[in-house]
Structure 1
Amino acid sequence: MRAKIETKKYLFAFIITALVFFGALVVSNKFSAQRIAEIKAIENNISMDILASETQFALLKDSSCKAIDHSTAFSEELSSLTAKLSYMEDNLGANNLEVISLKKYYSLLQVKDYLLVKQVKEKCGVKPITIIYFYSNAGDCEGCVREGYVLTKLRTEFPELRIYSFDYNLDLSVVKTMKSIYGVRNTLPALNIWEENYYGFKSAEDIEKIIPQLKKLRIEREKAEAAKAATSTKN
């Protein structure tokens, strides 16, 4: 009799465990599907943004640079997509076919945005601050994760900073062309700043030394905030 009770207890525990496991699996899959849907929605937004920019540049061939909507030319949607793609890689794995497909599309959009930024520079004399970052998540780049955190921090602090991130091992002709154009070798992480290559982990301080404009932007922002605070105090 006691043996039957013990058997029922174990069977009941097994059923409960199985239900919890499969329930968690369903929720996880649903959550991942929602994330993919969000990423695709952002892809569509970026595509529309870039198409609008191209049309705008075509219209502005004979117009003043004052008419250019720089908020469109310098899309912020790419930063959001970067974060979401990182999440997908962490949860579905870097070798997941959906992740690889999205990463390829994202890389193409980045190159498109980069070319649009160059058009703004040539037409209007604007000198954008850009970093081209090559990384690997194949387990062969010890400093890539830390470098990613540093660049995310800098991008948050300096919205003016354009960062283009490419998986060095991605099988995509555009990425291969970028590596060839800038002569980037397989010593990662690698940063291309002002058409110069920098290899190995670089801290935020290191990057600010390479790009002194960032320090100037911080000082200008601090002065503006101080002036605003002083005005608010008077009122």
Structure 2
Amino acid sequence: MRAKIETRKYVLSFVITAMVFFGALLASNRFAERRLAEVKSIEDKISLDLLSSETQFALLKESSCKAIDHSTAFSEELNSLTQKLSYMEDNLGGENPEVLSLKKYYSLLQIKDSLLVKQVNEKCGVKPITIIYFYSNKGDCEDCKREGYVLTKLREEYPELRIYSFDYNLDLSAVKTLRSIYGVKNTLPALVIGDENYYGFKSTDDLEKIIPQLKRLREAREKAALTKTATSTKK
């Protein structure tokens, strides 16, 4: 009798364990399928963004200075691509072939944008504020993620600021040439601001000291907001 009870216990235990295992496996497969569907959706959106970006290049080259919004022209597309590529890196990994291919295309897009900004500057007499940021996601740069958060926040706060981010280790001749032109060392994170290279983590306060124009922009924005509030109060 005891033997039968013990056998039933073992069988019941096996059945429960099997159910838990297969339930977890099924949930894992569904999660993986959902994640792949999300990634595929992101890939489709990136393809559209890339096509839109290239079209914008052609349009902006032919535009008059008055027609160009120098603070946001083309930067919104780049910011959108940055977020989508970050999502793909987090989900597929930085060494995934599709991620690397898109990252190369995105890097070329950024370089094209910087050249376009230079042309607009010469044509319209505009001096944009730019930061060129080199990072690594191979696990050899502890401060790169923190620096990325700082730059994202800075970009949101100052739409006039153009930030170009490049993977230092990306196997792309254009990025290697860019590193060579600015003499960027493999001491990351690295920032190129104006004619100077800055290495190591830089906080928002550090960057506002390095780029005095940012402080002036913030003060002008705060003054405009106060004036608007005062005008509304009088009404």
State the Cα distance separating 1:203 from its structure 2 match: 1.0
1:31 aligns with 35
Output one character per residue of 1:146-191: Cα deviation in whole Å (capped at 9) or x when no partner: 1111111101111111111000001111111111111111111100
Equivalent residues in 2 for 1:74-223, closer than 5 Å: 74-223=74-223
Q: Is the 8 A contact 1:50 1:73 kept in 2?
A: no
Q: Is the 8 A contact 1:133 1:165 kept in 2?
A: yes
Give SS of 1:73's match.
coil
Asked if residue 12 in structure 1 is aligned to residue 19 in structure 2, the reply is no
Q: Which has the larger radius of gyration?
A: 2
Q: Is the 8 A contact 2:150 2:203 kept in 1?
A: yes
Q: Is the 8 A contact 2:56 2:74 kept in 1?
A: no
State the Cα distance separating 1:144 from its structure 2 match: 0.7
2:233, 2:21 → 1: CA distance? 61
Change (3 A) 1:49 1:96: closer
Output one character per residue of 1:98-144: Cα deviation in whole Å (capped at 9) or x when no partner: 21112111111111111111111111011011100000011111211
Q: Is the 8 A contact 2:71 2:160 kept in 1?
A: no
1:119, 1:82 → 2: CA distance? 23
Change (3 A) 1:184 1:29: farther
Change (3 A) 1:162 1:169: same
State the Cα distance separating 1:72 from its structure 2 match: 6.9
The letter of the residue matching 1:220 is A
1:206, 1:119 → 2: CA distance? 29
The letter of the residue matching 1:28 is A
Give SS of 1:131's match.
strand
Q: Is the 8 A contact 1:42 1:77 kept in 2?
A: no
TM-score by length of 2: 0.89
Single out whichever of 8-17 and 145-154 deviates more from structure 2.
Answer: 8-17
The unaligned stretches of length 5 or more in structure 2 are none
Percent identity of paired positions between Structure 1 and Structure 2? 61
State the Cα distance separating 1:145 from its structure 2 match: 1.1
Q: Is the 8 A contact 2:70 2:160 kept in 1?
A: no
2:195, 2:16 → 1: CA distance? 65
Output one character per residue of 1:205-234: Cα deviation in whole Å (capped at 9) or x when no partner: 111111101001111111111122222323
The letter of the residue matching 1:4 is R
Q: Is the 8 A contact 1:187 1:200 kept in 2?
A: yes
State the Cα distance separating 1:39 from its structure 2 match: 4.0
Give SS of 2:151's match.
helix
1:162, 1:36 → 2: CA distance? 29
The letter of the residue matching 2:161 is L
1:225 aligns with 225
Number of residue pairs the alignment of both structures matches? 231
